[in-house]
């Protein structure tokens, strides 16, 4: 099976390269980005040692669909999607916060709640809540946007403004966009028999000052989905929710003694587990998009991407 290598590809007009946790990002002519979604997978801010087949294609195609569906709410960075694993878009200066929004008490929020804390990113949570219980209204729990190799950290709205990470005017705009995008995502998910439980959005600013949505949106890496038809019954009986997200990977790691803490070793990812993770990504794509996933060849991936991107770039000039 041919996968992307660690060495960067070469595109016309390339001026820079950055390897993120799961994406390879190329700067072109100082005003464009080529973002290649790899098959790498991360959890607890650590890149796991094995790649997940088809993951990059799923992430890129789901994100592209939702970038198109939400462009009436907020402009976004996308220009084109020349390859199943690639998006070309406008370069923007990112805000150094991730706008996390939660409709339910689950995942990281639940783990924090279990410690006895009733304050999450400056948001007060009531006593007596149960795992996977819906909030009366979605809450925004931002995190710092980590530099390469660092961990994202919870932060409050008040601290963001106090530290001057984002201006008050811009932050109010980010909150407004976040609420509207989440409402749109929940509305769309309901038509597919799913519940959009929580997600995160990243924003940047173009040279002319326009705020744009960047990176991915409503993918299994950035979002959590429950199945709507079983939610109430599972919640009443305190059963684990059937879900489509990366959370089951985190849970598997926790069960095998890893949460990204110092001194912990990543457990071996067996071939069976890797295949399971890949199938879950494909399942989410088909469920949320409502179309059969079309597998692309895993041979000559680098050659295909280079050819498709360079042809697309020629059409932009």
Same domain, 189 and 78: no
Same domain, 184 and 311: no
Same domain, 182 and 50: no
- What proportion of the chain, given as a percentage, has pLDDT over 90? 83
- Which of 189, 215, 245 terminates a domain? The answer is 245
Same domain, 79 and 160: no
64-68, 82-86, 218-222, 230-234: least confidently modelled range: 218-222
* 193 domain residue, yes or no: yes
Which residue from 38, 34, 2 is spatially nearest to 20, judged by alpha carbons?
38
Boundaries of domain holding 105: 94-245
* pLDDT band at residue 1 under the 50/70/90 scheme: very low
Give me the pLDDT at residue 7, please. Answer: 63
Helix boundaries (H) for the chain: 55-69, 107-114, 157-163, 168-191, 228-236, 247-255, 271-289, 301-316
Give me the pLDDT at residue 118, please. Answer: 96
* 251 domain residue, yes or no: no
Same domain, 86 and 104: no
CA 177, distance to chain mean position in Å, is: 16
For residues 211-230, give the mean pLDDT: 94
Structural domain count, the chain? 2
Residues 134-162: pLDDT tens digits?
A: 999 999 999 998 655 456 799 999 999 99
* 255 domain residue, yes or no: no
Q: What does the alpha-carbon distance between residue 46 and residue 299 come to, in Å, rounded to a whole number?
A: 27
* 250 domain residue, yes or no: no
* 53 domain residue, yes or no: yes
CA 275, distance to chain mean position in Å, is: 21
Contact assessment for residue 36 and residue 304, using Cβ atoms and an 8 Å cutoff: no
* 98 domain residue, yes or no: yes
Contact assessment for residue 95 and residue 166, using Cβ atoms and an 8 Å cutoff: yes
Is 103's pLDDT higher than 80?
A: yes
Contact assessment for residue 182 and residue 103, using Cβ atoms and an 8 Å cutoff: yes
Q: What does the alpha-carbon distance between residue 122 and residue 125 come to, in Å, rounded to a whole number?
A: 9
Same domain, 197 and 267: no
* pLDDT band at residue 2 under the 50/70/90 scheme: very low
pLDDT, mean over the chain: 93
Backbone angles phi, psi at 54, to 5 degrees: 75, -5
Give me the pLDDT at residue 6, please. Answer: 60
- Which of 215, 245, 275 terminates a domain? The answer is 245
Two tokens at 224?
């959590």
Same domain, 211 and 280: no
Give me the pLDDT at residue 57, please. Answer: 96
Q: What is the CATH number of the domain that holds 288?
A: 3.30.200.20
Is 46's pLDDT higher than 80?
A: yes
Same domain, 205 and 189: yes
Q: What does the alpha-carbon distance between residue 237 and residue 227 come to, in Å, rounded to a whole number?
A: 15
Is 248's pLDDT higher than 90?
A: no
CA 112, distance to chain mean position in Å, is: 21
* pLDDT band at residue 5 under the 50/70/90 scheme: low
Give me the pLDDT at residue 258, please. Answer: 95
Same domain, 31 and 60: yes
Count of Cβ atoms closer than 10 Å to residue 286 Cβ: 13
pTM of the predicted model as reported, rounded to 2 decimal places: 0.90
Own/partner pairs, 292-298, CB within 8 angstroms, 24+ separation? 293/54, 293/58, 295/54, 295/57, 296/57, 296/84, 296/85, 298/1, 298/2, 298/3, 298/53
Residues 260-292: pLDDT tens digits?
A: 899 999 999 999 999 999 998 999 899 999 999
Q: What does the alpha-carbon distance between residue 101 and residue 218 come to, in Å, rounded to a whole number?
A: 12
Residues 83-101: pLDDT tens digits?
A: 999 999 999 999 999 999 9
Same domain, 66 and 163: no
Q: What does the alpha-carbon distance between residue 247 and residue 110 come to, in Å, rounded to a whole number?
A: 12
Does residue 181 or residue 243 have the better pLDDT? 181
Q: What does the alpha-carbon distance between residue 202 and residue 44 come to, in Å, rounded to a whole number?
A: 18
* 3 domain residue, yes or no: no
Give the Å distances, CA to CA, from 157 to 15, 147, 149, 165, 298: 35, 20, 24, 10, 44
54 exposed, middle or buried (CB, 10 Å; 0-12, 13-18, 19+)?
Answer: buried
Q: What is the CATH number of the domain that holds 170?
A: 3.30.470.20
Same domain, 43 and 76: yes
Backbone angles phi, psi at 44, to 5 degrees: 55, 35
122: left (phi over 0), alpha (psi -120 to 50) or beta: left
- What proportion of the chain, given as a percentage, has pLDDT over 70? 96
Q: What does the alpha-carbon distance between residue 141 and residue 50 come to, in Å, rounded to a whole number?
A: 30
Helix-helix angle 168-191:55-69, to 10 degrees: 110
- Which of 245, 272, 305 terminates a domain? The answer is 245
* 7 domain residue, yes or no: no
Same domain, 30 and 116: no
Count of Cβ atoms closer than 10 Å to residue 135 Cβ: 16
Give me the pLDDT at residue 303, please. Answer: 94
For residues 236-248, give the mean pLDDT: 88
Beta bridge pairs of residue 283: none
């Amino acid at each position: 099976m041919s996968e992307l290598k660690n060495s960067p590809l070469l595109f016309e007009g390339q001026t820079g390269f950055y390897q993120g946790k799961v994406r390879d990002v190329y700067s072109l002519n100082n005003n464009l980005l080529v973002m290649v979604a790899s098959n790498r997978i991360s959890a607890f801010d650590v890149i796991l040692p094995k790649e997940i087949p088809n993951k990059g294609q799923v992430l890129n195609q789901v994100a592209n669909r939702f970038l198109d569906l939400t462009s009436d709410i907020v402009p976004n960075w996308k220009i084109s999607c020349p390859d199943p694993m690639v998006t070309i878009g406008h370069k923007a200066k990112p805000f150094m916060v991730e706008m996390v929004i939660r409709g339910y008490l689950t995942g990281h929020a639940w783990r924090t709640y279990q410690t006895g804390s009733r304050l999450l990113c400056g948001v007060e949570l009531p006593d007596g809540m149960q795992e996977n219980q819906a909030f009366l209204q979605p809450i925004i729990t931002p995190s710092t946007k980590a530099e390469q190799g660092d961990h994202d950290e919870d932060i409050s709205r008040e601290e963001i403004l106090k530290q001057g990470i984002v201006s008050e005017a811009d932050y109010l705009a980010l909150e407004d966009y976040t609420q509207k995008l989440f409402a749109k995502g929940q509305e769309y998910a309901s038509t597919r028999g799913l519940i959009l439980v929580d997600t995160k959005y990243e924003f940047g600013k173009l040279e002319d000052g326009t705020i744009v949505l960047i990176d991915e949106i409503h993918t299994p890496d950035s979002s959590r989905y429950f199945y709507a038809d079983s939610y109430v019954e599972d919640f009443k009986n305190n059963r684990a929710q059937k879900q489509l997200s990366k959370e089951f990977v985190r849970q598997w790691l926790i069960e095998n003694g890893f949460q990204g803490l110092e001194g912990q070793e990543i457990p071996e990812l067996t071939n069976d587990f890797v295949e399971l993770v890949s199938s879950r990504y494909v399942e989410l794509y088909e469920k949320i998009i409502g179309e059969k996933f079309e597998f692309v060849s895993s041979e000559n991936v680098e050659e295909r991407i280079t050819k498709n991107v360079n042809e697309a770039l020629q059409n932009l000039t």
